[in-house]
A and B are shown apart, each in its own frame.
Chain A
Amino acid sequence: MRFFRQVWVVTVKDLRAELRTKEAINSSLAFALVILLMFSFAFDPLADTTREISGGLLWIVFAFAGTLVLNRSFARELPNDCLDGLIAAPISGSALFLGKACANFLLVMAVQLVSLPVFGVFYSVPWTKQFPELLLVLVLGTWGLTVVGTVSSALTVNIRLRELMLPMLTYPIMFPALLGAMELTADLVTGSPIGADKAGFLKMMIGFDVIYTAVSLLLVETILVG
């Protein structure tokens, strides 16, 4: 019970810091909108073929915009040696990690829920038709992104080329979850239900989230303390 209270404190602290400065979420949102617009230059936005690949486009936007939020997660703690203070605080590394991951999850989710209607309008996609299923895929994919991304953020916080290394580390690991999310989203936003042939992707995404959450909680102490 105490563990969850600690997680909650870290989450609220991170969200409060972010909502006061709005440094990550603003840049992430602006970036998401810019990419959404840029895709319409690359593909004919009203063609049926674009609708078929729209799930993939959407996740590329989410993954790129997500790393902007994740980059700030630990980097925010660098000024005034806040990170050392957090590590020295009487909470376990896993509570700190889970708190940060939850905060990142909520922020990335917020960016997605804002860019989704814009995407729907720009590409005339009926994304509201199966919104509960779509939300499930969004939650699963985003949790995978934030868990792996928060670990990468902790790994890269003190090294050279931090901003470059985070996406380099995150995307290859994310590959199975991202592929599953793209396949499922492409179906859901165009109005066709999740078929039996695609159900495997859903199970795989759940497995991905469970495995990486567990391993991250296990190993994060090593990353933070060394």
Chain B
Amino acid sequence: MREKALYLIGVLAVVLMAYNLAEIAAQPSEALFYIPLAGVAGLAAVTALVAGIAFLRTRNFQFDALAVAATEVGLAFLAAGIVCGCFLTHAEGGRWWSWDARLTAALVCWLLYATYLMLRHAVQEPSQRAAFAAVWSVFAFLDVPLVVATIAWWKPAAGMRMDWTPSRLLNLLALAMVGTLLTVVRMRQEEARRELDSLRRVTHAI
């Protein structure tokens, strides 16, 4: 049943994006994806925060798996969004990076959440890793509005005009579905890895 629901989400996302393809003739395809990709990354950050807090309250490792899955998917989407932004900047001014306020803020947020994964890799003990990661997720999330505001003050003039058009909103929906799909897949993988780890520990103890 869960498998079928996942397939359905994937198919729906493809249908939505195919419906949107007609728009690509009217505007460069990067513009269609740039903001929605960043939007999905934002949703992933919220998910990771909620999952992290839920882990700290319940100590249920499923929430930890969800947090790491959402963070990784968010990082991938944000990286793709930044690349799309680079293409847009290049098309506008001939430079690949012109310190556009939004893109710079996105890059800093990307680095912020990259430290989350580095911290996870460095901590060995599973419950400590999950708790530290959850704490760091809260820290990183709180930094996002500060980063956005600071960079907006720092480079007020620089910035591409980008609004939410209906086609972009539709793309956000489609990409959010793809993101959900990837998160669920990654979450299962993480849970399987943890189970394998605990089995290994048990055999070690025996």
Whether, in the assembled complex, B192 has its beta carbon less than 8 Å from a beta carbon of chain A, the answer is no
Interface of B is mostly: helix
Instruction: Kindly identify which residue among A159, A172, A183, A222 contacts B123, using a CB–CB cutoff of 8 Å.
Output: A159
Q: Are A223 and B131 in contact (CB under 8 A)?
A: yes
The interface size bin for chain A is 20 to 34
Q: Are B150 and A179 in contact (CB under 8 A)?
A: yes
Q: Could you tell me the distance between the alpha carbons of A207 and B111 in the complex, rounded to whole angstroms?
A: 21
Instruction: Kindly identify which residue among A168, A169, A172, A201 contacts B153, using a CB–CB cutoff of 8 Å.
Output: A201
In the complex, how many angstroms separate the beta carbon of A212 from the nearest chain B beta carbon? 7
Interface of A is mostly: helix
Q: Could you tell me the distance between the alpha carbons of A175 and B123 in the complex, rounded to whole angstroms?
A: 24
Q: Are B131 and A173 in contact (CB under 8 A)?
A: no
Q: Are B153 and A173 in contact (CB under 8 A)?
A: no
Whether, in the assembled complex, A94 has its beta carbon less than 8 Å from a beta carbon of chain B, the answer is no
Which residues of B (133-158) have their CB < 8 Å from a CB of A? 134-136, 138-140, 142-143, 146-147, 149-151, 153-154
Q: Could you tell me the distance between the alpha carbons of A165 and B127 in the complex, rounded to whole angstroms?
A: 19
Q: Are A179 and B122 in contact (CB under 8 A)?
A: no
Whether, in the assembled complex, A151 has its beta carbon less than 8 Å from a beta carbon of chain B, the answer is yes
The interface size bin for chain B is 20 to 34
Whether, in the assembled complex, B50 has its beta carbon less than 8 Å from a beta carbon of chain A, the answer is no
Whether, in the assembled complex, A161 has its beta carbon less than 8 Å from a beta carbon of chain B, the answer is yes
User: Inside 8 A of A207's CB, which chain B residues have their CB?
Assistant: 146
User: Inside 8 A of B151's CB, which chain A residues have their CB?
Assistant: 179
User: Would you list 25 pairs from A and B whose C-beta atoms are within 8 A, ordered by A residue?
Assistant: A148-B139, A151-B135, A151-B139, A158-B128, A159-B122, A160-B122, A168-B118, A169-B119, A169-B136, A172-B143, A173-B112, A173-B115, A173-B140, A175-B111, A175-B112, A175-B150, A179-B150, A180-B150, A197-B153, A200-B153, A201-B150, A204-B149, A211-B142, A222-B135, A223-B131
Chain B positions within 8 Å of A, measured between CB atoms, are: 56, 108, 111-112, 114-115, 118-119, 122-124, 127-128, 131-132, 134-136, 138-140, 142-143, 146-147, 149-151, 153-154
